Amino acid sequence: MPRNDTLVLSSPTRTHISEGRRPASRASWTGQLAMFDYKVPVKAYAASVTTQESHLCQIHTGCGQRIQQRKCCPVHGELTAEQVGKGYIYLPDEILALSEPELETLKPDDDKTIRLTRFVDPADFDLSFLSGRSFYLVPAHPAAGADYATINQALQNRGRWGLGTMVLSGRWQLVIGRTEGGRLLLHLLHWPAQTRACPIGDGTQPKPTRRALRALETAIGDSQTPIVWDSFTDDWESRLTAVVQDKIARRSAARPSRGRGKTPRRRNGSNKSRRRSRSSERTAKAA
Structural domains in the chain? 29-47+108-193 (2.40.290.10)
- Asked whether the beta carbons of 41 and 113 are under 8 A apart, the reply is no
Q: Which of 79-83, 96-100, 255-259 has the lowest mean pLDDT?
A: 255-259
pLDDT at 151 over 70: yes
Query: 171-180 and 161-168: which strand pairing?
Result: antiparallel
pLDDT at 72 over 50: yes
The CA radius of gyration of the chain, in Å to the nearest whole number, is: 34
Q: What is the mean pLDDT of the chain?
A: 85
Q: What global pTM score does this model have?
A: 0.75
Tell me the pLDDT band of 18, cut-offs 50, 70 and 90: very low
> 257 phi and psi, to 5 degrees?
-80, 140
Which has more confidence, 268 or 93? 93
Query: 29-35 and 113-120: which strand pairing?
Result: parallel
What average pLDDT does the segment 152-171 reach? 96
Question: How wide is the angle at C-alpha 134 spanned by C-alphas 120 and 108, nearest 5°?
Answer: 80
CA dihedral 178, 179, 181, 184 (to 10 degrees): 80
Residue 131 burial by Cβ neighbours in a 10 Å radius (0-12, 13-18, 19+): middle
- The DSSP element (H or E) to which 161 belongs, if any, is strand 161-168
Give the closest residue to 182 by CA, choosing from 229, 150, 134: 150
Say which residues have a Cβ less than 8 Å from residue 121's Cβ, sequence separation at least 6.
159, 160, 161
Between the alpha carbon of residue 2 and those of residues 5, 162, 192, the distances in Å are 9, 16, 12
Give the closest residue to 168 by CA, choosing from 117, 130, 118, 112: 112
Q: How many helices (H) and strands (E) does the chain have?
A: 5, 11
State pLDDT tens for residues 93-136: 999 999 999 999 999 988 999 999 999 999 999 999 999 999 99
Q: Which of 26-35, 42-51, 132-141, 254-263 has the lowest mean pLDDT?
A: 254-263
What three-state secondary structure class fits 98? strand
What three-state secondary structure class fits 263? coil
